[in-house]
Amino acid sequence: MGDRKTEIRVACAVLVRGRQVLAALRGTGLHAGKWEFPGGKIEEGETPENALVRELHEELGVRLTVEHPLTTVRHRYGSGQEVVLYPFLIDPGDFSPVPVVHAAIRWVELKDLNNLDWLEADYPILEEVRRVLA
């Protein structure tokens, strides 16, 4: 387990519609201009599932059921900060996401995911998503 001072726990949603995945573009702050999966930090005492339900409502204005966990990912950035990602594969049903905190959001074909400049920590999730949806 990493040092709690430098470790950030994050829940993220891999929203899949057919052969498309929802990608969100960071607009400002750390890692601005990078693509990521919607989600956010897990608060003290919160489960990854509960955090993701909260974050999806805050970021996309939608309430979804969180199930189908993928493999947890640990990534250490050059700053020494370690991110622990708890990704979940989610069928969003029929909804039109609205970017609340992101500069842009868009549905991306599975075959085109590598054309985006993703956060480093998300690449192992992209690989697993390709395997699961193959």
pLDDT tens-digit map of 43-98: 999 999 999 999 999 999 898 999 899 999 999 987 788 999 999 999 998 888 77
- Residue 18 Rama label (left phi>0; alpha psi -120 to 50; beta): left
Mean pLDDT of all residues in 27-54: 92
What are the C-alpha distances in Å from 104 to residues 57, 60, 98, 133? 16, 11, 9, 24
| 122 pLDDT more than 80 | yes
Q: How much is the mean pLDDT over the chain? A: 91
The full DSSP string for 31-45 is TTT-EE-SEEEPPTT
Task: Spell out the domains of the chain, with CATH numbers in brackets.
Answer: 7-133 (3.90.79.10)
Please state, in angstroms and rounded to a whole number, the distance separating the CA atoms of residues 60 and 57. Answer: 6
Distances (CA, A) of 125 to 43, 62, 114, 128: 22, 22, 12, 5
